[in-house]
């Protein structure tokens, strides 16, 4: 919400400076985004007088001007404006000034061989209007040599962030009310004078959708003269970032921005028959004022006549019935629309507007008559014309609400003692009234007030949040007890382990574009698609962490990153039983680009492969406390992975702890990624808790008293046998003595029969209370060979 200081002072009688107002706005909960000084953009521009104007010797459409800047040294300026002439007083941009409209710096230059020392400026070039037919013409008595910023005047502009619960502050008047309540001036009453009609309204108005539009008021004004709105109206709109269009349109926008009350003006000559608020019919369309055509359905409220739809109710008017410079008769519309209906329609059409922002938050239902009278008075006073009687179809909802309130609640809930009389003053200044029974009547423009805690908030924020004492919470004596839960501890441990392994952490949105989410939704029970997303690119809750990581990898690779090792720890969102959200703690890893840079020894750069993903999966699962020695490698990593270069890690056939491998080329194409990518997804929620972890503390580490022993074995096995199966079998041969098994050679060649391979493993044995004897070692070796024999393995001779 942007507005100028002059606009605010139209409704707030105050001598406070712009800086003081800015500070108070933030103090009362209306957060100030920026305080702008438009005159800063006009630095380097002066009021100047053209002394002479001669034809350019080398160009028919250019003139060479001699310009007086007030310092006794006239400057030569080349100008192409048709209205440039001797005696004209205008605005000269000197070398070094930056033109607001183009953002370019003026420099002394030669134009067609003639030196020019600046530029005579138009209204559009200084962003003071849309006129670009000629240079600015100031009054003849304008002080030559004065800085144009000083002559034009400096009117600071406030940019305030209005939270969705404060529709009353979606207009300048509501903000002025809050500032007056905070003691920064006196609120001026709304000047809503009744404008009597001189003839019956010739347009029948009715409501066929009372749920979507409970109230529809209107009147006709005949004989108006449309054109440019007055300078003061244009200045107000410009400060709000609105482009002035014509008087009729500007005045409806002015009413909305001043009082938070949207309205609309129809060209009466373009209407046919009755005007009705009704439901749209499936298949109807509306060409809106933004030039786009929207397909409507029966859940939307529209304003239509006998010919068809003219207005997407409460959001945007139609182009067909809009006012132009030729408009002479208008129908004014002021209505109250259902906020829920407006929000639903806007989201379906992906259409936003200033009117929608106000209607979906809740406009004042008691301000229809006053708003219509103010708008009528402005139009008649500026455009002329003769108004008809007012036609009222339906009635707005009764918004009267009373709440019981005890002033002692401010201290018990707000933490600050405020005298009861002061609280009543604050509430009265904000528009709340006290009835004969001591209850507080809520004003119609405050739909956000539901209970007495809201009244406490109003009192405390106006009294001053800084007056609330900072009181520490009570704390028991002694050392604080740990508060982290087991899942929180797991997150911290895994996050640190991933970072220690050289992975870079990302934090991405929990929302995805729907097509990306659907690509990873296989087997996840369906997507959660939001009804009110932040944007279309954030419409679905993520069923996997990999889409966000892949998108981040693409952005970095496109910007020249050589190698990427990325991870994210977060939650994926699935559909649980009964339609409830099922959130799963997950770790995602993406490896892309170069694993090792090219060099004199290695030659070409080495990329990541499925074994790199496997190593990350096993290492991080081990840090998470998973029983990695008991895991089984199985397929079915998902359609997003390459079927021949991926696998899952499972505890039994059903419990999947991780999936890893190379991303499928079709998935890479969907994310527009060139080159192979390895990925890991660890399902941390599936890791079983350790037995006794909740009741027994882990014993302190004590190194073994005796030295370990290593023995090497070489087995001939079937070429198709996974090496991990042999390692697992050997490890289980003697769980009391074998503490580690490591594969160190896989040989296939001379001396090895066809269809077989030689796997060499190193077995680490740890003695307990006494050292191993030769007989002990032989018995362990026998058990190892026997375990391997069950897989068809035989010791290599």
What secondary structure does DSSP assign to 183-236, as a single string? TSSEEPPP-------SS--SS-EEES-TTT-SEEEEEEEES----PPPHHHHHH
Provide the residue count of the chain. Answer: 797
Would you state the pLDDT for residue 695?
Answer: 42
- Work out the angle between the directed axes of helices 486-500 and 610-623 (0-180°, nearest 10): 140
Q: Is 115 annotated as a binding residue?
A: no
Residue 558 is inside which H or E element, if any?
helix 546-558
Same domain, 175 and 316: no
Task: Kindly state the tokens that stand for 694.
Answer: 């909740």
- Most distant CA pair in the chain: distance in Å? 121
Q: Is 373 annotated as a binding residue?
A: no
Q: Which of 128, 152, 176 is the last residue of a domain?
A: 152
Q: Residue 779 burial (CB < 10 Å; 0-12/13-18/19+)?
A: middle
Give the CATH number, domain containing residue 616: 3.30.930.10
| Tokens 């920026």 sit on residue | 34
Backbone angles phi, psi at 236, to 5 degrees: -65, -45
Task: Kindly state the tokens that stand for 112.
Answer: 């067609």
Task: Kindly state the tokens that stand for 59.
Answer: 């160009």
Same domain, 748 and 767: yes
Question: In angstroms, what is the C-alpha Rg of the chain?
Answer: 38
Same domain, 232 and 335: yes
Same domain, 441 and 347: no
Report the candidate in 574, 564, 672, 690 with the shortest Cα–Cα distance to residue 626. 690
Calpha distance 373→368 (Å, rounded): 9
Give the CATH number, domain containing residue 737: 3.30.70.380
Q: Is residue 88 part of a domain?
A: yes
Same domain, 601 and 535: yes
Same domain, 101 and 177: no
134-167 burial: b if 16+ Cβ within 10 Å, else e: bbbbbeeebebeeebbeebeebbbbbbebeeebb
Would you state the pLDDT for residue 581?
Answer: 73
Q: Which of 686, 717, 736 is the last residue of a domain?
A: 686
Give the CATH number, domain containing residue 350: 3.50.40.10
Give the CATH number, domain containing residue 179: 3.30.56.10
| Tokens 């409220």 sit on residue | 301
Same domain, 226 and 305: yes
DSSP string covering 710-760: EEEEEEEEETTS-HHHHHHHHHTT-TTTEEEEEEEEEE-STTS-TTEEEEE
Report the candidate in 618, 614, 644, 643 with the shortest Cα–Cα distance to residue 630. 618
Averaged pLDDT, groups of 10, the chain, 797 residues long:
94 94 94 87 91 92 93 92 93 92 90 93 84 87 90 86 93 96 95 90 95 96 94 89 92 96 95 95 93 94 94 93 93 96 93 94 94 96 96 89 92 91 94 86 94 94 90 83 88 95 94 89 72 83 94 93 94 78 91 86 84 94 89 88 93 91 94 94 88 55 88 94 89 91 91 92 93 93 94 90
Q: Is residue 436 part of a domain?
A: yes
Calpha distance 211→534 (Å, rounded): 27
Same domain, 256 and 293: yes
Q: Is 454 annotated as a binding residue?
A: yes
Q: Is 448 annotated as a binding residue?
A: yes
CB-CB neighbours of 94 under 10 Å: 18
Q: Is 383 helix (H, G, I), strand (E, B) or coil?
A: helix
Q: Is 767 helix (H, G, I), strand (E, B) or coil?
A: coil
Task: Kindly state the tokens that stand for 162.
Answer: 């209005």
Calpha distance 750→466 (Å, rounded): 85
Residue 511 is inside which H or E element, if any?
strand 511-512
Calpha distance 315→324 (Å, rounded): 20
| Tokens 């132009």 sit on residue | 324
Q: Is residue 68 part of a domain?
A: yes
Same domain, 642 and 630: yes
| Tokens 């503490």 sit on residue | 739
Would you state the pLDDT for residue 691?
Answer: 64
Q: Is residue 103 part of a domain?
A: yes
Residue 355 is inside which H or E element, if any?
helix 354-359
349, 352, 357, 358: CA torsion to nearest 10: -80
Q: Is residue 424 part of a domain?
A: yes
- The distance in angstroms from the start CA to the end CA of the chain is 86
Report the domain count for the chain.
Answer: 6
Same domain, 635 and 542: yes
Same domain, 56 and 132: yes
Q: Is residue 194 part of a domain?
A: no
Cα-based distances in Å from 535 to 342, 506, 512, 530, 547:
17, 21, 10, 10, 17
Calpha distance 397→338 (Å, rounded): 10
Q: Is residue 699 part of a domain?
A: no
Please give the angle made by the CA atoms of 228, 234 and 236, to the nearest 5 degrees.
Answer: 155
Give the CATH number, domain containing residue 65: 2.40.50.140
Calpha distance 503→466 (Å, rounded): 44
Calpha distance 269→321 (Å, rounded): 8
Q: Which domain does 644 fall in, by range?
A: 486-686
Q: Is residue 399 part of a domain?
A: no
Residue 782 is inside which H or E element, if any?
helix 774-789
Q: Which residues contact 796 (CB under 8 A, 6 or more apart)?
A: 714, 715, 716, 758
Same domain, 32 and 44: no
């Amino acid at each position: 919400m942007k507005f100028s200081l002059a606009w605010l002072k139209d409704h707030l009688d105050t001598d406070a400076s712009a800086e003081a107002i800015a500070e108070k706005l933030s103090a009362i909960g209306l957060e100030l985004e920026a305080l702008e000084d438009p005159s800063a953009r006009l630095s380097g521009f002066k009021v100047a007088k053209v002394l002479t104007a001669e034809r350019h010797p080398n160009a028919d459409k250019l003139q060479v001007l001699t310009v007086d800047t007030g310092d006794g040294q006239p400057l030569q300026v080349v100008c192409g404006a048709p209205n440039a002439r001797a005696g004209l007083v205008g605005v000269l941009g000197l070398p070094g000034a930056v033109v607001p409209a183009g953002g370019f710096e003026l420099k002394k230059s030669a134009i067609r061989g003639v030196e020019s020392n600046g530029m005579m400026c138009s209204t559009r070039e200084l962003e003071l209007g849309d006129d670009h037919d000629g240079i600015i013409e100031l009054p003849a008595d304008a002080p030559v040599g004065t800085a144009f910023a000083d002559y034009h005047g400096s009117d600071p502009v406030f940019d305030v962030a209005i939270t969705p619960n404060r529709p009353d502050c979606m207009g300048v008047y509501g903000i002025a009310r809050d500032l007056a309540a905070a003691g920064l001036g006196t609120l001026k009453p709304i000047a809503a004078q009744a404008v009597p009609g001189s003839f019956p309204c010739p347009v029948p108005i009715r409501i066929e959708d009372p749920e979507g539009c409970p109230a529809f008021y209107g009147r006709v004004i005949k004989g108006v003269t449309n054109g440019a709105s007055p300078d003061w109206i244009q200045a107000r709109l410009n400060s709000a970032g609105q482009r002035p269009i014509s008087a009729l349109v500007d005045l409806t926008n002015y009413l909305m921005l001043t009082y938070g009350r949207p309205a609309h003006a129809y060209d009466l000559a373009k209407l046919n028959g009755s005007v009705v608020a009704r439901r749209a019919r499936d298949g109807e369309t509306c060409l809106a004022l933004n030039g786009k055509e929207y397909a409507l359905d029966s859940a939307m409220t529209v304003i239509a006549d006998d010919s068809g739809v003219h207005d997407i109710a409460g959001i945007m008017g139609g182009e067909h019935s809009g006012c132009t410079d030729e408009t002479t008769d208008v129908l004014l519309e002021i209505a109250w629309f259902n906020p829920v209906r407006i929000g639903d329609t806007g989201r379906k059409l992906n259409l936003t507007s200033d009117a929608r922002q106000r209607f979906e938050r809740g406009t004042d239902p008691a301000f229809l008559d006053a708003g219509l009278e103010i708008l009528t008075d402005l139009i008649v006073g500026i455009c002329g014309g003769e108004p008809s009687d007012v036609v009222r179809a339906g009635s707005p909802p009764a918004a009267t609400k009373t709440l019981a309130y005890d002033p002692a609640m401010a201290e018990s809930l707000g933490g600050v003692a405020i005298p009861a009389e002061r609280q009543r003053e604050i509430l009265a200044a904000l528009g709340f009234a006290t009835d004969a029974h001591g209850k507080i009547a809520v004003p119609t423009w405050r739909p956000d007030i539901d209970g007495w805690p809201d009244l406490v908030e109003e009192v405390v924020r106006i009294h001053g949040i800084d007056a609330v004492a900072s009181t520490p919470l009570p704390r028991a004596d002694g050392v604080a007890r740990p508060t982290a839960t087991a899942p929180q501890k797991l997150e911290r441990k895994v996050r640190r382990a991933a970072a220690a392994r050289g992975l870079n952490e990302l934090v991405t949105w929990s929302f995805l574009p729907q097509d990306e989410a659907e690509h990873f939704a296989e087997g996840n029970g369906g997507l959660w698609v939001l009804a009110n997303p932040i944007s279309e690119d954030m419409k679905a809750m993520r069923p996997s962490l990999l889409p966000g990581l892949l998108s981040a990898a693409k952005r970095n690779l496109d910007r020249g990153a050589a190698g990427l090792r990325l991870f994210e720890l977060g939650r994926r969102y699935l559909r649980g039983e009964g339609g409830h959200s099922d959130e799963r703690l997950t770790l995602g890893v993406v490896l892309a680009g170069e694993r090792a840079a090219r060099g004199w020894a290695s030659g070409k750069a080495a990329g990541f492969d499925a074994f790199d993903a496997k190593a990350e999966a096993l290492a991080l699962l081990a840090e998470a406390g998973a029983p990695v020695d008991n895991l089984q490698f199985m397929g079915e990593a998902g359609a997003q992975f390459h079927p021949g270069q991926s696998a899952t890690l499972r505890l039994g056939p059903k419990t999947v702890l991780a999936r890893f491998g190379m991303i499928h080329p079709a998935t890479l194409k969907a994310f527009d990624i060139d080159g192979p990518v390895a990925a890991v997804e660890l399902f941390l929620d599936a890791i079983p808790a350790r037995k006794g972890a909740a009741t027994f503390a882990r014993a302190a580490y004590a190194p073994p008293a005796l030295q370990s022993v290593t023995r090497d074995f070489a087995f001939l096995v079937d070429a198709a046998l996974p090496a991990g199966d042999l390692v697992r079998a050997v490890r289980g041969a003697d769980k009391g003595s074998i503490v580690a098994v490591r594969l160190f050679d896989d040989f296939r060649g001379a001396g090895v029969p066809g269809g077989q391979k030689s796997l060499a493993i190193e077995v680490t044995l740890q003695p307990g209370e006494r050292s191993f004897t030769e007989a002990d070692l032989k018995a362990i070796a026998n058990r190892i060979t026997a375990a391997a024999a069950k897989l068809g393995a035989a010791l290599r001779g």
